[in-house]
Chains A and B, each alone.
Chain A
């Protein structure tokens, strides 16, 4: 069987999510090719060729693919699928945008956000915000799968796959890119960070997130938030960790003023170590935390930062 993995990249760097998706694909068994669709993709293709276990790297280089919008991605992937039995992509916003489109064109039911691969046709995926895990077997001839990358280890590097350029996608398309407004930050990306510190409704205001900023700086951590904090307008939506936001699995997750609603736990419970600071000792977050500190965060956070300073951070 032949499996196509669609790469996560920004036209200059290949993202780790690609390596993790390759691991998921390898578990299905068969040959794994990686597709780089974008603009000016030569460098990214060279990076992808190094991933262990990759047979070929396919490249499509066209202006309409710079932002990987849905229609252009459909135009690239659907014709390719005559040669593949499955297509996998990370479940980030880029790929969530077009994968259902590819699935419908192939008359296939998409299998979304899988956290386990049992065989070439059987997958485990969270439902109900991760309150239940469903094992599903696809009866479709081809499989269209998005991958919850936090559940898979990254494939190593050391390979040297051959590459091949594909024809440009056929337009015109009925949507166009206008612009973007990306949060500027020197901090690591939320989904790739080794340490994440998140604030919840207990932070009280957006202004108070300054209290965790100093700690994030000391630890080189990414900053996140619960849905409650986003709903309250404290911080932007792309900070959101949880069922309706991002799934993260850092080595250390620090939850501050977060009660631990199911929807939040769904996005962070795969973290290696969880620490929680909350003044309510009955908060559900303490049921999943390895280290819990029952304290008023307005007192505990400055102390925590001072202790880190003392410890040389």
Chain B
């Protein structure tokens, strides 16, 4: 089966986001950018499926600025076969991304699309569900594990309170959660090899998709800060404060 993995270039998860002084957004100038951590898990899953023979081809897609090519190369170095780079300098919303991905799915006919459950920049958590709707495919969200048997895909999902198992008819969409796997580091030889793997260059216009934003960002502000309280001497004082001062126990 052919597997498609969309990936996003985001502010590295170890870097603290700083709000711009004019409150127009988050400052992304000269900061470290990386592949969205959930997308790394998606790539790892696709590469594992290739290694086990479950997947015949694994394609990595990124929709973003010129530098998103580095993110695609990261996926190729991890073991994906080829890339598609839809270049845009606009910060597209999940709906527009899902529409472009639908057009790519119509062209590529994958039987499985694996996406991260959310991107850690905008935190919408919407692209996978939207793509499933546009394709009229079933979805297994927040996958903890997955297993393919013929054309049936069994997905164990992380839900509030534990785990839930669903069976999907492929073609299907899976979104990934933290415990699905541990993404590999690309080895130096694989990084060198990845440089030779093909990347198709596209634009949103190639797919005839209207990417006009639906949400207007009026302002972006710092969250309200909490003030640090006091240090207590020992456990006895902690119990006393919680009971008699704060009245919460």
Contact = CB atoms under 8 A, between A and B. Distances in A.
Contact of B239 (A94, A129, A307): A307
A101 B248 contact: no
A238 B248 contact: no
Nearest to B213: A109
Interface string A90-133: 00111011111111110111111100000000100111111111
Contacts of B123: 112-113, 125-129, 243
Given A126-B123, A238-B158, A289 B216 contact: no
A243 B231 contact: no
B111 to A, nearest CB: 13
B162 A293 contact: no
B160 A93 contact: yes
Interface in B25-50: 26
A252 interface: yes
B129 A101 contact: yes
B67 interface: no
B17 to A, nearest CB: 4
B178 interface: yes
B124 A112 contact: yes
A283 to B, nearest CB: 11
Interface of A: 67, 69-71, 74, 92-94, 96-105, 107-113, 122, 125-140, 173-183, 189, 191, 195, 219, 227, 230-231, 236-238, 243-244, 246, 251-252, 262-263, 269, 272-275, 277, 281, 286-295, 300, 303-304, 306-308, 310-311, 313
B220 A101 contact: no
Nearest to B123: A127
Given A98-B129, A101-B130, A180 B120 contact: no
B222 A132 contact: yes
B133 A136 contact: no
B138 A132 contact: no
Contacts of A272: 248
Given A108-B95, A252-B242, A132 B17 contact: yes
Interface in B200-215: 213-215
A70 B231 CA distance: 48
Interface string B226-248: 10111110111011011100101
B142 to A, nearest CB: 7
A99 to B, nearest CB: 7
Interface stretch (B1-9, B73-81, B166-174): B166-174
Contacts of B17: 127-129, 131-132
28 contacts: A93-B142, A97-B141, A100-B126, A101-B129, A101-B132, A104-B133, A107-B95, A110-B126, A122-B218, A129-B17, A133-B222, A135-B221, A137-B216, A139-B215, A140-B214, A175-B138, A175-B166, A176-B166, A177-B164, A177-B166, A179-B165, A191-B160, A237-B178, A238-B158, A238-B160, A294-B231, A304-B238, A307-B239
